[in-house]
């Protein structure tokens, strides 16, 4: 069992990150674990991304498609993959060289687990420019001291409890058997391109299976102004978050009705954020309307009250900041 080396697919999704995607690909190809395939999906970039990606030749599996949002890119990457284990990597992030090795050891040591969640160290791009990347990697490797913890949160998800251990896209690794249940993802692009994203995937993964969480920084997360969510100002971030929560709640209820209680909670939080932002999106309004049209009077009342609570809470926070 310990000598078995399952194929690991590293899926990189890229949109207009020509300046970063080469580093992401290099970090994937530079894994100490030997049995990998690197699939790079370019989601209709308008910069020089295609030239960068094509420069890797047959060392990677490139996919070029029209812009359709992150879920569409993930669907294309997963459909082209063959791995027993799937690791996701955003084009502006990096994997440390031993990331896949550690992930595979967890899957091999604990047969039957469905996912492994890791962490990434947040670093400003300027720090990577003015510092030797290898030195940064060696520093992070030396700091990695953590014992992975097994997590079974399935009952909690059914009871609408939100996990506090689900990380961002580049820290998510799954068994193929689990992702076969989730893919293809609903291809809801939304205004941000992120309507269906890691939130939908990791909540359902935790609800459907068990896995391991490690606090080891096995990657690097770039904090930069081009990031479509993290570095946005409050109103914009609130609108994107609303879109993600509404789309996740709606499609969770459609495809996984056993998580209906959680879907109501997500939709309520999303509608509250939507109303407290300057955001306007017809898709959000239609998904919320369709959801409410299929609820009982009691559920509708619960959603409206939870929406109002979230809205008032956010507005009070805004007032306090201005005071």
Q: Looking at the domain assignment, is residue 228 inside a domain?
A: no
Quick one: what percent of the chain has pLDDT higher than 70? 89
Average pLDDT over residues 39-63: 98
pLDDT digits (tens, 9 = 90+) for 150-159: 999 999 999 9
> Which pLDDT score, from 0 to 100, does residue 231 have?
47
Contacts of 157 (CB under 8 A, 6+ apart): 163, 203, 206, 207, 259, 262
pLDDT-based confidence at residue 279 (cuts at 50, 70, 90): confident
Choice among 24-38, 87-101, 188-202, 294-308 with the minimum mean pLDDT: 188-202
Lowest mean pLDDT of 43-57, 217-231, 298-312, name the range. 217-231
Q: Closest Cα partner for 271 from 299, 238, 317, 234?
A: 238
* Whether residues 182 and 54 fall in one domain: yes
- For 65-91, b where at least 16 C-beta lie within 10 A, e where not — what string? eeebbbbbbbbbbbeebebbbbbbbbb
Q: CA–CA distance from 294 to each of 103, 121, 188, 260, 268 (Å)?
A: 41, 43, 20, 12, 15
3-state secondary structure of 269: helix
- Do 126 and 270 lie in one domain? The reply is no
- For residue 278, the surrounding DSSP H or E stretch is none
Among 222, 249, 282, the domain-final residue is 222
* 283-299 mean pLDDT: 94
Boundary (domain end) residue, out of 222, 257, 291: 222
In a domain, 40, yes or no: yes
Whole-number pLDDT of residue 281: 86
Split into its structural domains, the chain has a count of 2
Task: Determine if the pTM surpasses 0.85.
Answer: yes
Share of the chain above pLDDT 90, in %: 78
Same domain, 218 and 266: no
Question: Mind listing the pLDDT tens digit for each residue in 12-40?
Answer: 999 999 999 999 999 999 999 999 999 99
Could you tell me the sign of the dihedral formed by the alpha carbons of 71, 73, 74, 79, in that order?
positive
Q: Which domain holds residue 258?
A: 234-322
Region 265-284 average pLDDT: 92
- Indicate whether 140 pLDDT > 70: no
Give the domain-ending residue among 192, 222, 252: 222
Would residue 227 count as lying in a domain?
Answer: no
Higher pLDDT, 79 or 131: 79
Distance between CA atoms of 35 and 87, rounded to whole angstroms?
13
């Amino acid at each position: 069992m310990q000598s078995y080396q399952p194929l690991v697919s590293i899926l990189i999704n890229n949109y207009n990150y020509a300046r970063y995607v080469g580093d992401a690909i290099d970090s994937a190809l530079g894994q100490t674990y030997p049995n990998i395939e690197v699939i790079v999906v370019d989601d209709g970039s308008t910069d020089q991304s295609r030239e960068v990606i094509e420069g890797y030749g047959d060392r990677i599996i490139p996919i070029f498609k029209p812009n359709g949002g992150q879920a569409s890119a993930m669907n294309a990457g997963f459909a082209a993959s063959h791995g027993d284990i799937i690791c996701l990597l955003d084009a502006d992030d990096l994997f440390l060289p031993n990331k896949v090795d550690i992930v595979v050891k967890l899957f091999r040591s604990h047969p039957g687990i469905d996912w492994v969640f890791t962490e990434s160290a947040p670093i400003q791009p300027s720090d990577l420019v003015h510092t030797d990347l290898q030195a940064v990697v060696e520093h992070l490797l030396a700091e990695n001291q953590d014992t992975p913890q097994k997590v079974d949160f399935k009952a909690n998800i059914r009871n609408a409890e939100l996990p506090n251990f689900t990380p961002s896209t580049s820290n998510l690794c799954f068994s193929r058997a689990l992702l076969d249940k989730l893919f293809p993802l609903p291809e809801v692009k939304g205004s941000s391109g992120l309507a269906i994203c890691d939130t939908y995937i990791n909540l359902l993964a935790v609800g459907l299976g068990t896995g391991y969480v490690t606090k080891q920084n096995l990657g690097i997360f770039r904090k930069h102004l081009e990031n479509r969510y993290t570095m946005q100002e409050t109103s914009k971030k609130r609108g994107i978050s609303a879109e993600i929560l509404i789309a996740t709640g709606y499609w969770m209820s459609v495809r996984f009705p056993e998580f209906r209680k959680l879907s109501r909670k997500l939709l309520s939080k999303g509608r509250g954020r939507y109303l407290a932002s300057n955001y306007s999106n017809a898709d959000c309004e239609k998904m919320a309307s369709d959801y409410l049209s299929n609820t009982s009077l009691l559920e509708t009342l619960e959603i409206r009250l939870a929406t109002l609570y979230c809205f008032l809470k956010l507005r009070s926070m805004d007032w306090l900041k201005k005071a």
